Amino acid sequence: MKFKFLAPAAVLAASTAMISIAAPAVADDHAEAAAPALADVLAHERRDGDRERDQYRNPAETLAFFGVEPTMTVAEYSPGGGWYTRVLAPYLMPAGTYIAFNGDSDGRTYQTRAQEARAKGWTESFKEGMAQAMGVEADSVMAFEVDEMPEEAAGTVDRVLIFRSMHGLNIGNNADDILKAARVMLKDDGMVGVVQHRAPEGASYDDYGARQRGYMRKQDVVAIFEANGFELAAESEVNANPKDTADYEGGVWTLPPSFGFGRQSEEEMAKHRAIGESDRMTLLFRKAD
């Protein structure tokens, strides 16, 4: 695993036995301590359909870098199809707390009434699905839209995790709302972990910021966080893929698992399968002083 730690140097020079703002600096120790439980979660049959993507998403290494512990309270933004939820919830729920949260469904535009109904019914449907999967009561599952955050969630969260969603937040102008909610949820020493499709070095904002290609420039992600009171604490290359040129006309969805949403020939799919999933930056942010 390749980790790069950033300022302040005084904090990062502190004893590796301490868990503080510099928690990522002891990510390897955390991974060792949590490995047996996490290994069991990753090997569980509920993930039989997910495991093939571990080679690209590196869940054990990613969660270790983010400093996620099984006793923590962790909030996942926009769980989507639940790939990471099927890792996080069983890992956290026995001794910690798993929270799912989403954007304000009233602040979006919809192409169909069915799409709108699904979005507005997300909270309850997620709770019911989680309850069934985990064998718990739906009322015990914490899931909410940011505008309906329970008061008791404020200041209780150790980590907020945002997986491959910053491009949508950027284009939809929703990043500020989500990051403001994250600041409210987080403890003083809480942190935000981000995995995001990465634009090539030297890419222009016009091609990779204003235009929806799924990829983002690192400096734009950092700028969004800084504007919301965060600073970059550490970064890792654990989810890097040097084979990804990130210059496809169809954006990141050219690569697996989307393969251009079924519009590619067998030859094109084979070519993109050989590349693998996207090149991704893995960033960890803390609250700025």
Residue 121 neighbours by CB distance under 10 Å: 12
Q: What is the residue extent of each domain of the chain? A: 3-245+276-287
Inter-residue contact 254 to 274 (CB < 8 Å): no
> CATH assignment of 3-245+276-287?
3.40.50.150
CA distance 135 to 138: 9
Q: Tell me, what's the pLDDT at 139? A: 87
The 10 Å Cβ neighbour count of residue 50 is 18
pLDDT digits (tens, 9 = 90+) for 154-205: 999 999 999 999 999 999 899 999 999 999 999 999 999 999 999 998 999 8
Residues contacting residue 109 through CB under 8 Å, at least 6 positions apart: none
Concatenated DSSP letters of 71-108: TSEEEEE--TT-TTHHHHHHHHTTTSEEEEEE--GGGS
Q: How confident is the model at residue 27 (pLDDT cuts 50, 70, 90)?
A: very low
Percentage of the chain with pLDDT > 90?
A: 76
* Exposure letters 235-244 (e unless 16+ CB within 10 A, then b): bbbbbbbeeb
258-273: average pLDDT: 94
Quick one: pLDDT at residue 34?
42
203-262 residue pLDDT tens: 998 888 777 899 999 999 999 999 999 999 999 999 999 999 999 999 999 999 999 998
Overall pTM surpassing 0.75 (yes/no) = yes
Q: How far is CA 91 from CA 2, 24, 175, 240, in A?
A: 24, 19, 27, 25
User: Residues 277, 53, 193, 76: is their CA dihedral positive or negative?
Assistant: positive
Count CA atoms within 13 Å of residue 85 on its CB side.
Answer: 20
Q: Which residue has the higher pLDDT, 143 or 14?
A: 143
Token readout for 64 is: 């270790």
**Tell me: the pLDDT tens digits for 48-78?**
999 999 999 999 999 999 999 999 999 999 9
